[in-house]
Chain A
């Protein structure tokens, strides 16, 4: 039985479901059993507003990069779509753009809902990425929801971050001026067949170059259309170049710390939300400070923080 035959895919699919829906306590228990993967699967993130063309681009890029990855474990795609805060339901629409690659045996596509996460990623995304590492994929492509503070959260989850913009995306350019979008390694001006692409590209290029001396990697700005191969090839090369540049300079301890930091931070935020939902009386304390203090006290004795063995003793 090979790693990507249907039966292994079945097992992987089930593992991912379990991890994606794990509570904070379950996720911590899993982490205790399964130390962080020490394999070095390359992770490439794609962020940008809904409708910017991320899924279409990821699909085409996956097909292209598969040529080099086929014998190295294949490629996994994680596509995240928003959960409706009202019903808790979601329509996971990323893979409908990925039709053309479903028959590639070395490719695995998984759709995720953001659940309680509002940072453009999904609950337990760190565990999911680790599980894909352990399964032996050569590369993982991660598509964010593209809203909120997606850039900040995904920055630390991936090695290379691609920001997908559309022509005349005035807001995005404004945000870049304010320094919010400086986190990306590569900028794609997507849908370059539409009017205004050239202008948007040169605006973004201008901003990126103005920050030139503060960074050693100069993020390229690449125009891409869904029907043309030239832009896609340029993007493919730029990603490989960035990964190469990174591998020579990156401090693994620092990377591990940043990832741990994002992971623990997202668990704590989620646990606080769980707690305030479970114990609304915390909100009835006379002052804000009382609520804050009581909430922290409750968290200090939190079940979720206790390891499963110790928890069993108290039952």
Chain B
């Protein structure tokens, strides 16, 4: 299995200024064969959706450390739909409290990956989602 030919946007919404986690996952995805685009820090949901559309990615990974993941996922999803791109998937990574996992999945995220998860498990789940 590999992510060869898949296009993935790693985006950092929200206000926190840490992108170590985002960079780790970006490099791991590249090493699994994906074409990875990275947005840099503090992007709005609208910005992220716009880049996802122009770059025609298969999935957007939202890397988040603090707070408002629910709103950000909902808002990104709303923008993608508005741009005729509701089929672009979203996964969420970072420090996500266990109690929020179910809600994020119900909101439509295809995966929720916390920083404790082994990287191989994250990669193989993303591969499964993109098949």
Contact = CB atoms under 8 A, between A and B. Distances in A.
A256 interface: no
A96 interface: yes
B55 A111 contact: yes
A87 B38 contact: no
Interface residues of A, number: 27
A200 to B, nearest CB: 30
A21 B5 contact: yes
Contacts, number: 79
A10 B37 CA distance: 17
B84 A10 contact: yes
A10 B83 contact: yes
A207 to B, nearest CB: 37
A95 B51 contact: yes
Interface stretch (B28-36, B90-98, B105-113): B28-36
Interface string B8-22: 000000000000000
B83 A6 contact: yes
Contacts of A6: 50, 53, 82-85
A6 B26 CA distance: 26
Interface in B38-71: 38-40, 47, 50-51, 53-56
A71 B129 CA distance: 41
Contacts of B34: 89
A87 to B, nearest CB: 5
A17 B7 contact: yes
Contacts of A109: 54-55
B128 interface: no
The 7 closest A-B pairs by CB, nearest first: A13-B56, A6-B83, A89-B30, A88-B33, A7-B84, A89-B33, A17-B56
Interface of B: 2-5, 7, 26-27, 29-40, 47, 50-51, 53-56, 82-85
Interface of A: 6-7, 9-10, 13-14, 16-17, 21, 84, 87-93, 95-96, 99, 102-103, 108-111, 113
